[in-house]
Structure 1
Amino acid sequence: MRYLFSRFGFYLLAFVAAVTINFFLPRLMPGDPIQSFLGRLAQNGGQITPETIASLEALYGYSTNTPLFQQFLTYLQSIMTGEWGTSTRFFQPVFDVLGRGMLWTLLLVGSYLVVSYGITTLLGIWVAWKRGTWVDSVITVGSVVISSIPAVVMALLMYFIFASDLGWFPTSYAYDPSLDPAMSFEFIRSVVYHLALPLLSMVLLGMGNVMGMRSNMINQLGEDFIVMGWAKGVKDKKVMLQYGARNAVLPMITTFAMSVGAIFAGSLIIEIIFNYPGLGQVMFQAMLARDYPLIQGYLLIMTIMVLGANFIADLLLFVLDPRLRTELG
């Protein structure tokens, strides 16, 4: 338990540091949300008066006349109370705007984690078992080449080839706009159809995990307990899956936790290119509008997810790895 409490304390300090950066980072950007809103208001023929500016500053909790430290204290209070402010871009509570985008991002990222890590883990185990053969050479070289393509290039290639030119997949949205959201076969099929190409792009970008699993598996195959299993006449399938793969998967848990931030960053690019209505689209529009409350809300959610994933990984390692419990005990 001492180990778990120490890890929890570490992630709590990391959260405080991330929240501090989250507050100051948008304010280092040029411009401010009030001026951005006033610019759009002026373009639409609206009147700008001192009373209008004062009302906007009161509504969005941002004022150039308020000391930065006081703004920071107000921001911390809003986090604790769940009042994340109002979006200057969508004129709605930040929590509501992020909630709509979160649903589709979690669907995309969750599908990616299941499909990608399932495929790369099985492929890594297989090519390690077949190391030195043509299967090993083709799959390892291919996975490295594919995963080395930048996310934006991969997404654009998939978009222009399969969506724009061939027309096999839709070019935008999470489902057919003519359908009403409901738990019907037609709606679910439309969601899967619109998800397929963004998901395929992310899965291809994650093929580099094959090399990580392959290396872990090869290291396990050289351990004494593997040699002992063969010496006792244990079947190859049991040695590969129950002896080798079971232990080789443990480092992949840490790798997964450390890559959560990169996964969401990659999904942001994918969502923008495919016009997928997730958090990536929300963040993109928030940055264009200098929407401080929405940017801060997005970064806060990402912070919670990344730290939460790492803490869960620590818990899983503690439960699954008896060597860690013995060392800490």
Structure 2
Amino acid sequence: MVTIDWRIRRLGQAAFTVWAVITLSFALVRLMPGNMMGAMVTRLARQGINPARARELVELRMTIDPDAPLLPAYVSYVSNTLQGDLGQSVYYSRPVVDIIAEAVPWTLFVLSWAVFISFFIGISIGALMAYWEGGKLDVGLTSYAVLMGSIPFYVLAILLLIFLAYRLSWFPTGGRQPIATDPGFNLVYISGIVRHAALPVISMLVASGVASLGMRGNSIRVLGEDYLRVARLRGLSDITISTQYVARNAVLPMYTTLLISIGEMFGGSIVLEQVFQYRGVGWYMLSATHQRDYPLMMGGFMVITVAMVISLLLADLTYGYVDPRARRSQ
């Protein structure tokens, strides 16, 4: 059975990881060689702002007083961060929280579809591979899985962008929504959003290769169960047995992989959104790096890291409910 102590340990580990991320962000500002705040003051001064005024603006935007003692400055920074105050973007002159809150839904839109389609394809293919293990279908689908699992998603993204967007003009070359269409709940605008998100979603389907191989291994382990023999005696078709009987029981161990993949795709969105100029959290984070916009860069870093921590925590806390057999070992 899942004990309360076990849950408390998992929550404690997650809280410690979040604290470590916040502490690392503070250390980057105060202790990293090169003086981030000094560089930001110099940049504003070059724009014609008085150096004293530039320093005041930087302090407000970073939510850190560079002249304060280390411990009080750290306590103030942690307090502000936990209250949702991540500072103000230097480049966009907007609160970092507002920018990230605007970008997160777009990133989640792409990631949710990518994860759902990838695992649907991977689970279906893995079950078929295991059911016809050693046959021609297994060999062909295994080759597909290995190929997809070996291709980096950003390489596939560039190829799709070149051939399907630039050469064939089937999809937009960048952006997250149609420019000449007024935002609203109408068919034209919604279809435009889908077309802009299509290539980023397809690029992440390389995850289906790894998912199918994992599903194949899980399915092979359940093929010798007695209920499969009963299903065959009932005269059920191979497709029905492989998808409804084998897949249903072999998919349970894939639940953890599913949630972990969500966190990993958040990290992969940094490169993917830059390739397609899709303005999500990853795009803003990398753009902030180029612009030396440290508040926005650290805010994006914390959001992506916390998303991964939450994914792992949910996987740990809920797996016992998805697969009751796992409760015995917790």
- What is the TM-score normalised by the length of structure 2? 0.88
Q: SS state of the match for residue 259, structure 1?
A: helix
Q: SS state of the match for residue 87, structure 2?
A: coil
Q: SS state of the match for residue 168, structure 1?
A: coil
8 Å CA contact retained: 1:212, 1:252: yes
8 Å CA contact retained: 2:171, 2:196: yes
C-alpha displacement of 1:294: 1.6
Given candidates 14, 17, 32, the residue that maps to 2:17 is 14
Given candidates 220, 245, 259, the residue that maps to 1:257 is 259
* Structure of higher RCO (CA pairs closer than 8 Å, 6+ residues apart): 1
Deviations 1:33-92 (A, max 9, x none): 5524642652x5x24332332343244334543344433222210122222211112111
Given candidates 295, 307, 313, the residue that maps to 2:315 is 313
What is the aligned residue count? 325
Q: CA RMSD in A?
A: 2.5
The answer to which of 188-197 and 27-36 deviates more is 27-36
Matched residues in 2 for 1:301 and 1:319: separation?
27
Distance change (3 Å), C-alpha of 1:136 and 1:202: same
8 Å CA contact retained: 2:126, 2:216: yes
8 Å CA contact retained: 2:154, 2:203: no
8 Å CA contact retained: 1:174, 1:194: yes
Given candidates 104, 108, 115, the residue that maps to 1:106 is 108
8 Å CA contact retained: 1:33, 1:289: no
Instruction: State whether structure 2 residue 288 is matched by structure 1 residue 286.
Output: yes
Match of 1:144 in 2: 146
Distance change (3 Å), C-alpha of 1:18 and 1:61: closer
Matched residues in 1 for 2:33 and 2:194: separation?
37
- What is the TM-score normalised by the length of structure 1? 0.88
Matched residues in 2 for 1:322 and 1:124: separation?
23
Instruction: State whether structure 2 residue 313 is matched by structure 1 residue 323.
Output: no
Deviations 1:175-210 (A, max 9, x none): 111112101111001001111111111113542221
8 Å CA contact retained: 2:158, 2:275: yes
Distance change (3 Å), C-alpha of 1:290 and 1:63: farther
Match of 2:7 in 1: 4
Matched residues in 2 for 1:134 and 1:112: separation?
28
Matched residues in 2 for 1:59 and 1:151: separation?
35
The answer to which of 153-162 and 269-278 deviates more is 153-162
Alignment of 1:6-45 (within 5 A): 6-25=9-28, 28=32, 30=34, 32-33=36-37, 35-36=39-40, 38-39=42-43, 42=46, 44=47
Matched residues in 2 for 1:68 and 1:289: separation?
27
Matched residues in 2 for 1:269 and 1:315: separation?
30
Distance change (3 Å), C-alpha of 1:155 and 1:205: farther
8 Å CA contact retained: 1:286, 1:294: yes
Letter in 1 for 2:165: A
Deviations 1:239-259 (A, max 9, x none): 534543222112211112333
C-alpha displacement of 1:125: 0.9
Q: SS state of the match for residue 133, structure 2?
A: coil
Identity of aligned residues (%): 30
8 Å CA contact retained: 1:124, 1:210: yes
Letter in 1 for 2:217: S
Match of 2:306 in 1: 304
Q: SS state of the match for residue 251, structure 2?
A: helix
Structure 2: segments with no counterpart, 5+ residues:
none
Letter in 2 for 1:171: T
C-alpha displacement of 1:6: 3.2
Matched residues in 2 for 1:302 and 1:65: separation?
30
Matched residues in 2 for 1:314 and 1:323: separation?
14
Matched residues in 1 for 2:175 and 2:40: separation?
27
After the TM superposition, list the runs of 4 or more consecutive aligned residues in structure 1 that deviate by more than 4 angstroms.
230-234, 236-239
8 Å CA contact retained: 1:258, 1:310: yes
Distance change (3 Å), C-alpha of 1:257 and 1:25: farther
Given candidates 196, 199, 202, the residue that maps to 2:198 is 196
C-alpha displacement of 1:160: 1.2
